[in-house]
Amino acid sequence: MAEGTGCDGDVANSGKIVLAADTLFDLNSARVKPEGVKMLQELVARMSGLNVDVVMATGYTDETGPADFNQALSERRAAAVKNIMVREGVPADKIQTEGKGPANPVVTCTEGQSKAEFIACLAPNRRTVVEVVGSRAE
């Protein structure tokens, strides 16, 4: 999924890419799934020809679980995304990571459903956002 300005199928001057946790990570995991690796490879390919100033990978969790666990998990998710991007050729010194735990949720779910339904409802909050800032090479 892509959101924000400058992301119209090609990474432009500034683009924000939201990588959904159901594609990237299992619940309570920072191991990137094969589908997530493919998404990151496609992102790096779209970045070719771009003079990258900075890439910011920000990891998030849902609201379940202890705050310290969620903070650490969000940091590990951002680091996992960075590691794959570095492996795909993005210079490590261009990528910054940050974990924000359950901050900035994109959905709010009620607990009037089964535990499995509640966890599934919260999936959009378990995400990694990748922002690429740069300019097209002339």
Q: How many Cα atoms are found within 13 Å in the side-chain-facing hemisphere of 124?
A: 8
Residues 6 or more apart whose CB falls under 8 angstroms from that of 58 comprise 74, 78, 97, 98, 99, 100, 128, 129, 130, 131
What does pLDDT average to over the chain?
Answer: 84
Which pLDDT value is given to residue 98?
A: 97
Higher pLDDT, 98 or 36: 98
Which pLDDT value is given to residue 102?
A: 95
Report the percentage of the chain scoring pLDDT > 70.
82
Domain containing 8 — which CATH number? 3.30.1330.60
Higher pLDDT, 21 or 109: 109
Number of domains in the chain: 1
* pTM (2 d.p.): 0.82
Give yes or no for a contact between 80 and 127, defined as CB atoms under 8 angstroms apart: no
Cα separation, 14 vs 122, in Å, equals: 28
pLDDT tens figures, 72-90: 999 999 999 999 999 999 9
Q: By residue range, what is the domain housing residue 78? A: 2-136
Lowest pLDDT segment from 23-27, 36-40, 49-53, 56-60: 23-27
Which pLDDT value is given to residue 21?
A: 60
pLDDT tens figures, 5-21: 333 344 444 556 666 66
